[in-house]
Each structure stands twice: as structure tokens, then as C-alpha cells.
Copies of this chain bind each other. A is one copy, B any other.
Amino acid sequence: MTTTLRAQDQLIGLLRDGLPDRAVLIAERDRRAYERDTAPFGPSGTPAVVVRPETVQQVQHVLRVASHLGVPVVPQGARTGLAGAANAVEGCVVLSMLAMNRILEIDAPNRLARCEPGVMTGDISRAVAHLGLCYPPDPVSADICTIGGNIATGAGGVCCVKYGVTTDYVRELVVVLANGEVTRLGGKTVKNVAGLDLKRLFVGSEGTLGVVVEATLGLRPVPGESLAILAQFPTATLAGEAVAAIIKRGHTPSALELMDAVTTGAVHALGHPSIQDPNAATLIAESDAPDRVDEVAAMARVCSESGATVVVAAINDEESKQLLSARRMIMPALQAKAATMPGDVRSFIEDVAVPRTRLAELIDRIGEVSAEHGVFIATLGHAGDGNLHPIVVFDAADHGSLRRAQHAYDDVMAAGLALGGTITGEHGVGVVKRDWLARELDPVSLRLQQEIKRVFDPAGILNPGKVLA
């Protein structure tokens, strides 16, 4: 015990040598506040210390000290992650990047923004909107998550069906390695094939390879006005078939979002005015193309042909935004519903993705999993990408409920893999899906991943136990 305390004192002393006092948090309350991201299960520990560096040099100092002492370092953004990738490990240094939150440069003519990692994702688009530009990836958490966290997880979002995900917008990264060295990966040009594409190796690496201290991101012109439709179907399976048909017909919607009947009912109960049938599955399709009137009309026809019983069409941008707002009401609506349920109600948010033609089968299988385990599952997601977020609800006060929910969570991943899909489309592996990675990747690929990890972090101090075992 004394030895441990001495080691902790030495760690904190050395960290203070290169950090301002305000950047070193040692109070138990502070340390406990940085223990977990939003994954409701998976292991975590209490950090020995939380540091909030304000400069690249301070990040280097932290990593040099941690390397010197062999102490694990867990990088964190806003801890909105859903896979436990930001969970602290016992006795680690939590390296919170929230204090490095400046937009460093906006280069409108080259459509670039250079940011520190702690910038909130939604702030980037707000900062460039007056220039007619935006940063497209739009996770539902965009206003409360950081761009550094988005890079670490490879975040997606609603408009990604048309505009792509985080990796498509990362041009250049400055990273600090485990040993404190700094390197610059990628470049500021649109195209660059000078050497191996290390910047993209960092996207989705969940803080296991190094710490992103600066990112140069590509921007796009703000899309034109959008038009949306909201279609309702007797079953989510029919809605899934409509999604496949929309893609097959060659449409490129700017959003194509699904809510099953449970989710639809919750959003209706929270008072969304456009939901006519609270017992039906709902599909929202949006087009922001110059020919959006035609494209939306065509998508509405596909929905009708696929069995939609209700199709509500917006007639202008404002009405479209209102239809889309149903998407952003889902989490509060489900929380409100959960509040009416007995027990200490929590949920796991799944993130499986399948080829779009297999979506209906995945939805069917989720229904079976729910019935088999007697578990409440609300299914929603970025259907246009084949990416669903089934939300598995459980009573944390009831051990049996938790166990059944975990089995259901696992069975949904198994269903995703069986349909040629992936265990994670945009939330990452973290700790909660680590054991599942070996079921998606073959042993050779897993070994390569482990060896690449060792190239960047030979002593294994960076976010140990995440992604790879």
C-alpha cells in the first residue's frame, strides 16, 4: 500500500513538472468522474490521476512520464463513446483532451479546418457555416462529442449515407506516440499517396496507437435545401425492404433512417406531430440534391410499393427539418419510456451493420432474439448504410435481466456476422466488443493488428485492453 502510494506520488510529482496545476486532477471525486464512457457495461478502473494538457508539449510530457514509469495512459475525449474505449484502467493516467479545444485555422478556399482534438464536432460546422461550408459527419452526439473522439472511434452519423464517415474527411493528423515523439501523418492536399496511409490507420484506433493532438479536416459546401418524407410500414421488415429498394433504384438520399414500432411509439408519445401511426415502423428519407423534388417523390413511390401505409411528404426545408427531428428525439423518447418501466432501467446500444440487402433479415432476426430472451429491444439506425442500433433494455437491479440482455446483445452481433456484416459500423470495439473482434477477423489479421500496435506502442501503455486483448 505504501509502495503504491509512493509510486502514485512519484507519478503525480513528475507530471506536475511539465503541467500547470489546473491540468492535474487528483481529488477522488475528479478521478471517479473520468472512469467511464457511456457504455453501461464492460470493465473500468479508477485513474491514479487525470491530466488535462493544454499544449502538444504537455501531451508529450505526460506520455514521456508514463513511459518512464510504465503507467498506462487512457486518452479521453468527451466520453460519449458507447464501447467503453475511453474507460479508465485501474491506476492509469487519464489523458483528457478537453482543454485542447481550439479551432486553429479555417482555410475556406482549400476547404480545410485545422483543429485541436477537444473541439466539439458540431462547432466545426458552425464555425464555417458563414463561409458556405460544413464538416459533414454528424453523429447524433455532435454537440457533446469531440472531433478527437470521432477520429478515435471512426464516427458516422445521419448524413453519412451520402457524405461519408470520419475517415473520409481526415486529411492530416499530428499525433504524439507512447514514447512522447510527435509525428505528422498525411497532408493538406486532396490527394496524397506518399508512403503508407498512416493517418487512416489512426482513424478508429481508439487511442491505442497514439494521441491525436491536431487534425486537419476536409470541408464541403453546405448542401442545398432538403426535402424529406416520413413513411410508415406495418413492420420494420417491410421498411428494411424499402431501404434496399431505394438504394437499388439508384437514389442517393442524404438521410435514410429507420425506427421500429417500439421506437416510433416512444417518439409519438413524446409528442412528435408527424407520426400518424404509433404502432407502425417508420422510415425517414431525405434528399438535398438539386432535383430533390423528383428524388423524394420517387422514394415516396418506392415506399408505397414496398407496403407503406402512410407517407408524409414535407413541402419545404422547414417541414423536412421537422420530420428529421424525429430522429434526434429517439434517445430522449426511449429514456422517457424507460422511466415508466419498473427497476433500474438501463440499455445497451448495439451497432451492427450488414449489406443493405440483408437489412430486412437482420430486423427479423432481432425480433426473434428479443422473443427468445424475453428482452425489450427498440431498433433504429442508419438504415441506408445497413447500420442498425438495436437498443437492448434491461433492469440493472435484476441480475437475470442483465444476463438475458447480454445474451441478446451477443446474439444480435452473431446475427450481423452471419449476414455478412460487422460487429461495429461506427461505435468501435472498445472493451465491450473486444472478444467479438476475433469472431469477425481471421487469426492472421488479428496477429497483424497486434504487431502493428506494438510498432507504435512497444510497452503497451496506451489504452491497454481496448480493441485488442
Question: Which residues of A pack against B, CB within 8 Å?
Answer: 107-112, 132-133, 153-154, 156, 160-161, 164-165, 167-168, 177, 181-185, 187-198, 200-201, 203-205, 209, 221-222, 244, 247-248, 250-252, 289-291, 353-357, 382, 385-387, 420-429, 433, 437, 440-442, 444-446, 448-449, 451-453, 455-456, 467-468
Contacts and interface: CB of A to CB of B under 8 A. Distances in A.
Contacts of A194: 422-424, 429, 433, 437, 440-441
Contact of A153 (B193, B205, B251, B382): B193
B187 A422 contact: yes
A197 B185 CA distance: 15
Given A168-B168, A191-B382, A194-B433, 19 more contacts: A107-B357, A109-B248, A109-B356, A112-B355, A165-B191, A187-B420, A187-B422, A188-B420, A189-B354, A189-B385, A189-B386, A190-B356, A191-B422, A193-B426, A194-B422, A195-B437, A195-B440, A221-B250, A291-B291
A356 B194 CA distance: 18
Contacts of A197: 154, 167, 200-201, 203-204
This chain's copy number in the assembly: 2
A426 B110 contact: no
Contacts of A177: 444
A387 to B, nearest CB: 5
A427 B193 CA distance: 7
A191 B355 CA distance: 9
Contacts of A290: 289-291
Q: Is the interface of A mostly helix, strand, loop or mixed?
A: loop
A291 B460 CA distance: 53
A196 B449 contact: yes
B111 A198 contact: no
Nearest to A295: B290
Contacts of A187: 420-422, 440
A422 B193 CA distance: 8
A385 B193 CA distance: 13
A184 B442 contact: yes
Contact of A160 (B111, B160, B191, B252): B191
A190 B356 CA distance: 8
15 contacts: A107-B355, A187-B420, A187-B440, A189-B353, A189-B420, A190-B356, A191-B353, A191-B426, A192-B422, A193-B427, A194-B429, A194-B433, A194-B437, A198-B201, A198-B448
